[in-house]
Structure 1
């Protein structure tokens, strides 16, 4: 558990069950009850007391497990926690059924306020990148630095490979897709997701593939799985259409925290060409482009990302805040 404890009324430690979510070596899971939502939080015991907190937010269809490769590489720098957004991973759906970007951002803010962990080093991937951008814009007091991996920010020309995901937002499409893919095995589904999200699917180890299949089987058994996917996809599409001060690009311009942007050259969901626009939008940004990476660079190239994050801290003078002499790699 992190060095910053939740009030006991909010935190309940849980022992992971064999049939439940996978927990990597050194990780712990706990459930956190907040008004209207219950969140599952994955954490690592901090290397020592006093490290600044970090929070990781996954993307559409993902979970806190997406950060398990990166978190141990930052053990000497930060006190890491990753959460399952409402309806994803091991977190049940929210009471209000709100899966908009704003709804997810509200869940992150509620957690940080209740845990009194802010300001944090905030990480976000894809949908989690859009969510984290909104959090950093509306609550700058909660964010020390911002690291965005292929953030789902509005694009005028969406890549063709991203269209099927966007179509999930349309009423009835999720049910149609469920019927169409009824005979697909978990292995087939994982192969499809891996081919879509990785720059090189061959990087996935046999053990990693087996773990992903087990997780896919678990999720498909949840009665709300497709509803959450469809509503969250709709939330992204709706966020793309918002203008004015609520538009994500406008909010990106309002972010004060030093920002690390990570884009993959083989990303089939968020276009590589958006990297330069993002670098211009975030006022205090650094850009890391990985030509061979896909949509989940923190899973594909965790060592490179850990190095880039350390450089972000050194560049902004925040490395001294950690009292760290080096990140474990």
Structure 2
């Protein structure tokens, strides 16, 4: 189905699949997948329209479509149920897969999943002008201004939004992120994919009843670890308790001094927590 993958060789027979968030890519899992490699081989996906995955024709970028495609991918691996980890939008997608295809998911790790959070707060944007980017008339000019930003400046904006302590972001990773932003700027499908996936998240947030993400959470049967950064500016930590409470077999870990991408900002801590869950599940003690 044309998904770009990053593989982390590791323990035979156990597979972990990593799903990034809005505007992210498979590189968001580099450090965590390496730490967990002695216990599971890793597959980090670029979702359609992100990283280096060109979206299929007619793909609508809704969370349900992302989840259906991811489920088909997991099924095609032929590895049995996997350890599934998702961050932000990828967390919401992973939750939907776990709810609808429990046969594909051994354990579920949700890192600041994009649960409904309808706050109006410009601080949730990497650039406040993004709030204007899709308005009639004004939007086109704003989009041109945003497109004129250099790749390193864009990368720094993302880090400032997603990290509680942006200064802790390694210089090497900044260079890699800037290079990725530069490469993606050449893809005609990149900006529309970002916009349409954003709207797809908003549509999901306003869905009610059985179609809501909260309803899906209650349907998850896999052992689940919910991780949230206390300083998350994108999806409020106030969503953490409800998320973990609704999922029948979930436990919650809130990390102080941590933002929206705990797997990047606190990879060692997250790795210990994930491994602890895996070990307890194997011992039937979760």
- Give yes or no for TM over 0.5: yes
Query: Which runs of structure 2 are paired with 1:75-90 in the superposition (5 Å)?
Result: 75-90=37-52
Give how far 1:157 is off: 3.3
Q: Within the alignment, does 1:240 sit opposite 2:240 as a pair?
A: no
Aligned to 2:177: 212
Q: Is the 8 A contact 1:44 1:80 kept in 2?
A: yes
Give how far 1:136 is off: 0.4
Aligned partner of residue 199 in structure 1, secondary structure: coil
Query: Which runs of structure 2 are paired with 1:6-155 in the superposition (5 Å)?
Result: 34=1, 38-47=2-11, 49-50=12-13, 52-155=14-117
Q: Is the 8 A contact 1:169 1:230 kept in 2?
A: no
CA distance, structure 2, for counterparts of residue 257 and residue 169 of structure 1: 39
Aligned to 1:310: 275
Give how far 1:234 is off: 0.5
Aligned partner of residue 292 in structure 1, secondary structure: coil
CA distance, structure 2, for counterparts of residue 154 and residue 40 of structure 1: 28
Q: Within the alignment, does 1:226 sit opposite 2:191 as a pair?
A: yes
Could you list the per-position Cα deviations for residues 83-141 of structure 1 after superposition, in whole angstroms to 9, with x for gaps in the alignment? 11011111101212221001110111111111212311000000000100100001011
Shift in CA distance, 162/105, structure 1 to aligned 2, threshold 3 Å: same
If each structure's helix is expressed as a fraction of its own residues, which one has the higher value? 2
CA distance, structure 1, for counterparts of residue 146 and residue 281 of structure 2: 48
Equivalent residue pairs, number: 282
Q: Is the 8 A contact 1:266 1:293 kept in 2?
A: yes
Shift in CA distance, 229/138, structure 1 to aligned 2, threshold 3 Å: same
Shift in CA distance, 165/184, structure 1 to aligned 2, threshold 3 Å: closer
Q: Is the 8 A contact 1:133 1:251 kept in 2?
A: yes
Q: Within the alignment, does 1:287 sit opposite 2:252 as a pair?
A: yes
CA distance, structure 1, for counterparts of residue 15 and residue 76 of structure 2: 14
Could you list the per-position Cα deviations for residues 283-314 of structure 1 after superposition, in whole angstroms to 9, with x for gaps in the alignment? 11111111111111001111101100111123
Q: Is the 8 A contact 1:197 1:268 kept in 2?
A: yes
Give how far 1:155 is off: 2.1
Q: Is the 8 A contact 1:158 1:271 kept in 2?
A: no
Aligned to 2:215: 250
Moved more, 310-319 or 141-150: 310-319
Aligned partner of residue 181 in structure 1, secondary structure: helix
Give how far 1:218 is off: 0.8
CA distance, structure 1, for counterparts of residue 197 and residue 72 of structure 2: 19
Query: What TM-score comes out, normalization by structure 1 length?
Result: 0.81
CA distance, structure 2, for counterparts of residue 182 and residue 132 of structure 1: 30
CA distance, structure 1, for counterparts of residue 24 and residue 284 of structure 2: 29
Q: Is the 8 A contact 2:122 2:131 kept in 1?
A: no
Unaligned 5+ runs, structure 1? 1-33, 321-329
Aligned partner of residue 195 in structure 1, secondary structure: helix
Unaligned 5+ runs, structure 2? none
Shift in CA distance, 158/308, structure 1 to aligned 2, threshold 3 Å: farther
Q: Is the 8 A contact 1:54 1:121 kept in 2?
A: yes
Aligned to 2:234: 269
